[in-house]
Every structure is written in C-alpha cells, then in structure tokens.
Amino acid sequence: MVAGGAGFVGAHLCQRLVHDGHEVICIDNFQTGRMCNIVHLLDDENFTCVSHDIVDPLPDLGQVDEIYNLACAASPKKYQVDPIHTFKTNVFGALNLLELALQHDATILQSSTSEVYGDPEITPQAETYRGNVNTMGPRSCYDEGKRAVETLFYDFHHARGAKTRVARIFNTYGPGMCPQDGRVISNFVTQALSGVPVTVYGDGSQTRSFCFVSDLVEGLMALMACEDAPVQAYNLGNPGEFTVREVAQHIIETLGSKSEVAYLDLPVDDPRQRCPDISRAKADLNWAPKVSLADGLRMTVPYFAGQLQRPAARLLV
C-alpha cells in the first residue's frame, strides 16, 4: 500500500513497485495528487487506486504486507491552505495506517521530513540533532505533525510491536511535480521557461539540499527492506548544499532564459539552512544518492516544458 501514491514521490514509488512485480494499492484523497501521475498504471492488473482520505477510517482493502505512508501535502503553499487538516493527516492518518499495519503484521514506513529539524542551529543535520521548531507558526502544522508521527511510530513499535521505519526526507524534485505546486524547483524552472521573473524569497542566502526523486525512491525501498536496521529515523537526502540564489542563477543560465530575479519577502519561519548528514543511511542501508543537482535538473526541465504545453486547467488533473 502506498498512501499518497498519486502525489509526486508516491507516483514514482508506485511505478517502481509495480515495475518490480509487486501488487500495489494506492490510497489518496487527491488533495495535491494528480490522476496524470498514475494514469499509465491504471490498466496494470497489479495496480489499484482507491480515492480515500486517510484521516477517515480505512476501508478493508485485503491483505497488505508493506505500507508506505507518503500522504501529506509537502509544499508549504499547499499544506498551509488547511493547516488543521494537514495536522490531522499526519496524526490521525498515521494512527489509522499504524493500526492497519498491526492488523496485517505489515511493515510500515513513514515519510517524515527534514522539517523536524526546524531552523537548525547545526549543519549538517544528523539524526541525533533534536531540532529547533516553532510550535506556533504557519509551518507548525506540518513540522509538528511530522514530529508527532515519529513519536507515534516509536510508541507503536515499543508498546505494541509494530514493524516501523521512519525516513526523514530532504527537499526532493524531479519529473511529476505539479508545476503549480509552489516549491522552489517547480517555481524556478517554470518561471525560467516562461521568461517571467524568477521569484527568490528573501535575499536567497538560505540553503537547501536537493535530492533527485529516483535516488529518494531507492532510499525508501532500501529502508523498507532493511530488517536489521535499528528502529530509528534515517535522513534521506543529497548532501550537496546550495543557496536559493545559486539555484536561481544556475537554472536561468542553463536554460538560457531571459528571466530576471525578483526578490520577494521571505516567508515566516523559513529555515536558514538544510544539509543532511547521511552517514547512518550509508552505513545501515548502503544507500547514497547518485544524481547531482545539475544532472537532475537536466532530466526535469523537459518534463516541465511539456507541462507548460498543457491547457492551464489540466495542470492540476
């Protein structure tokens, strides 16, 4: 089962699992998921898509052996539209999936996030760092929701024997992102392709580390498969660290775009830096990302160019 399987990462994971011969049930409320991400899988007898909100009691979908919980809007612009629902998705949704996992003796993997480190005081961020998170702000529904889920996973494992995995995912990009998603790579590439100003928030000196989606999918599957891994969180991300201004300049230059950079207000609580320490994933999962930002962008730009050819009303479908 892939909860959030019609979203950006979830659809890549569904595709890979079906390709590897697994039977996959995608469960998604299509809040940010798009049918176009999974439409090519619908004719496959090993793929089922169920439209359902994981906050609500789950329907009986038969035996499941592995559950990947990727359900939750990841873009700040999207998860802040209904922050209470975002928090409920994280906590109530995860509770429903954890109960399902226990019922079926399935292994369950939670997609947590680098946002559990908040605005970090140390860099790079190792899993042992406990974070610097605002409990009362526009990002809190997401950051604190994910922190609460990690606690639920810890307690379901220790108190009730659930087979749990927790991945702390850093910024991930690639084909399949919704062009109107609002995240930095989708915004910058679509703006540069359209020749409109590239919107850098703040002075652009904040940093992010960008992981190409195929690397992340490898990492998630390696974590799910790792039966010997101690029950703890794993950072999954690419340690290459760039300022947002560098990313804007790189995209404008490599696309030969006429776009200029427009500096806009920095959103509240925007973290200053992000860089994963991935020693734990390297040691325990034998995993490390392979795709550089430059190569990943080369594989992503044609996708966004194609999306911009679609009628505007169909971009969200």
Active site positions, annotated: 142
Interface residue with ligand NAD among 2, 17, 24, 70 (CB under 6 A) is 70
Task: Decide: is 25 part of the binding site for ligand NAD (CB under 6 A).
Answer: no
125 binds, among ligand UDP, ligand NAD, none (CB under 5 to 8 A by kind): none
Helices (H) and strands (E) in the chain, counts: 11, 13
How many Å apart are CA 53 and CA 63, to the nearest integer? Answer: 19
201 binds, among ligand NAD, ligand UDP, none (CB under 5 to 8 A by kind): ligand UDP
- When the beta carbons of 77 and 157 are compared against ligand UDP, the nearer one is 77
Quick one: 20 exposed, middle or buried, by C-beta within 10 A (0-12, 13-18, 19+)? exposed
Name the token pair of 34.
Answer: 């798009």
Dihedral (Cα; 158, 74, 124, 198), 10-degree rounding: 180
Tell me, residue by residue from 99 to 138, as one string, x for binding to ligand NAD by CB under 6 A and - for no binding: ------------x-x-------------------------
Of 67-75, 188-196, 218-226, 286-294, which part binds ligand NAD (CB under 6 A)?
A: 67-75
From 93, 253, 99, select the one nearest 189 (Cα to Cα).
253
Residue 217 φ/ψ region, left for φ over 0, alpha for ψ in the -120 to 50 degree band, beta for the rest: alpha
In the complex, the residues that contact ligand UDP under the rule CB under 6 A are 75-76, 171, 183-184, 187, 199-201, 206, 208, 244, 267, 270
Residue 110 or residue 257: which is nearer to ligand NAD going by CB? 110
Secondary structure of 26-37 in HEC code, one letter for each residue: EEECCCCCCHHH
Q: Summarize as ranges the residues that interact with ligand NAD (CB under 6 A).
A: 3-4, 6-10, 28-33, 53-55, 70-74, 89, 93, 111, 113, 169, 171-172
